Amino acid sequence: MARAFLIVMDSVGIGGAPDAGSFFNEGRPDTGANTLAHIAEACAAGRAEEGRSGPLKLPHLDALGLSAAVDLASGTRPAGLGAVPQGLWGAATEVSRGKDTPSGHWELAGVPVPWDWHYFLETQDSFSPDLVDFVARAAGTEGILGNCHAPGTAIIERLGAEHLRTGWPICYTSADSVFQIAAHEESFGLDRLLQLCRDVAPRLHAMKVGRVIARPFTGTPGAFLRTPNRRDFAIEPPAPTLLDWVQGAGRTTHAIGKIGDIFSHRGITHLHKGKNDADLMEHLIRLGTDAEEGSLTFANFVEFDSLWGHRRDVAGYARALEWFDACLGRFLPTLRPGDLALFTADHGNDPSWSGTDHTRERVPVLGHGLGLRPVGLLAYADIGASVAAHLGVAPQGPGRSFL
């Protein structure tokens, strides 16, 4: 019985979103953003030499059809790439009105978001006084720290010492629909932080805030370090997703990385976590050998986005792409005849762009296991429908299979 592997390269966009002009970074529309093409351009021009050198090298993804997918999506051939496609290739366009993690993943899994997310638009005093009071009461403190837009590492460096002194949680947000709470694992307590997030999540979800995120850290002033114990408390998808369809058909589902958090742990048989993407890759390679017949493995590799895209680090992003591609030399040989491995993304995060937010882009759709198959321009939801069709499971959403 065929197996399926749906692998999300978090934020690896390929430009060309038709509605990019209505999404912004620091007041600049996302029109023209192209994560993959701009990284390749910088590499070819010698502007991304830190820890790597020369043109971008992605032989496995390019052989599947990556360069052709970028050209299809945005009319751009990424510098240094250009292999003749040997796999399934196309590009997908999102319809949900968000360039965020839940919107992208839910739609990939067959469920476009039917509502507008709530965003905290003010960069200072981002949260209303009643919300601040509610969170402080839930934490058992007299107040909170932060209450602003901020990068996670920067706000911990700035407020970590005051957090240790007062015991108040550090609460912050971003351009995404998120409410993040940072606290010291020892002085505040990891279990206490997770319980605080559980307690406040229902109120935030009722506001259509997509995620409450626990951001634990350790260390001392001047040497604070975020730990791998992040936990996302996401609003539940509004309808059954690909994971529910497959599990409901009596099949096994494996979730790698933050897939469990994104889907509120619904439709998941086995969850595989790790402290970084290297750990998650080992899970994927192992499941390439061990995953059950007829199973679905759904993986997210987040560090393209979290470590390099938001920080606007082109060379770091290029290094991560080349590492990931090299690992495919270990993963792809584990697949059995009849298996399908699909590589895609949930949104863009062009590290050459202004601001620090995601960028509205189309995403690649690259497949191994079915031979050469150009599938053209697709909807995100078509990906979930196609994975279901490959597994012989009836899709329940609006997507249409391209297989």
Residue type present at position 100: D
CA distance 203 to 198: 10
pLDDT band at 176 (very low <50, low <70, confident <90, very high): confident
pLDDT band at 240 (very low <50, low <70, confident <90, very high): very high
Contact assessment for residue 298 and residue 256, using Cβ atoms and an 8 Å cutoff: yes
Looking at residue 221, what is its pLDDT? Answer: 96
Please tell me whether 163 is known to bind a ligand.
no
DSSP three-state, residue 161: helix
Residue-averaged pLDDT of the chain? 97
Q: Can you tell me which residue has the tokens 């976590």?
A: 273
β-sheet bridge partners, residue 25: 28
Please tell me whether 10 is known to bind a ligand.
yes
* Tokens matching residue 395: 């899709």
Looking at residue 139, what is its pLDDT? Answer: 98
Looking at residue 79, what is its pLDDT? Answer: 98
Q: Indicate if the pLDDT at residue 153 is higher than 90.
A: no
Contact assessment for residue 389 and residue 74, using Cβ atoms and an 8 Å cutoff: no
Q: Indicate if the pLDDT at residue 185 is higher than 90.
A: yes
CA distance 364 to 8: 10
Alpha helices in 190-302, H assignment, sequence order: 190-206, 242-248, 259-262, 277-290
Please tell me whether 310 is known to bind a ligand.
yes
* Tokens matching residue 93: 């366009």
CA distance 151 to 314: 18
DSSP three-state, residue 187: helix
Percentage of the residues of the chain whose pLDDT score is greater than 90: 97
Q: Indicate if the pLDDT at residue 151 is higher than 90.
A: no
98: left (phi over 0), alpha (psi -120 to 50) or beta: beta
DSSP three-state, residue 375: strand
pLDDT per position as a tens digit, 371-386: 999 999 999 999 999 9
Count of CB atoms within 10 A of residue 115's CB? 11
Q: Indicate if the pLDDT at residue 175 is higher than 90.
A: no
> Which domains are seen in the chain, by residue range?
4-113+238-391 (3.40.720.10), 129-234 (3.30.70.1250)
CA distance 321 to 122: 34
374 vs 306, which has greater pLDDT? 374
DSSP three-state, residue 352: coil
pLDDT per position as a tens digit, 50-91: 999 999 999 999 999 999 999 999 999 999 999 999 999 999
Please tell me whether 305 is known to bind a ligand.
yes
pLDDT per position as a tens digit, 311-327: 999 999 999 999 999 99
Rounded to the nearest 10 degrees, the angle between the axes of helix 101-108 and helix 380-391 is: 40
Q: How far, in whole angstroms, is CA 138 from its chain's centroid?
A: 29
DSSP secondary structure letter of residue 109:
T
* Tokens matching residue 373: 């198959």
Q: Indicate if the pLDDT at residue 301 is higher than 90.
A: yes
Looking at residue 83, what is its pLDDT? Answer: 97
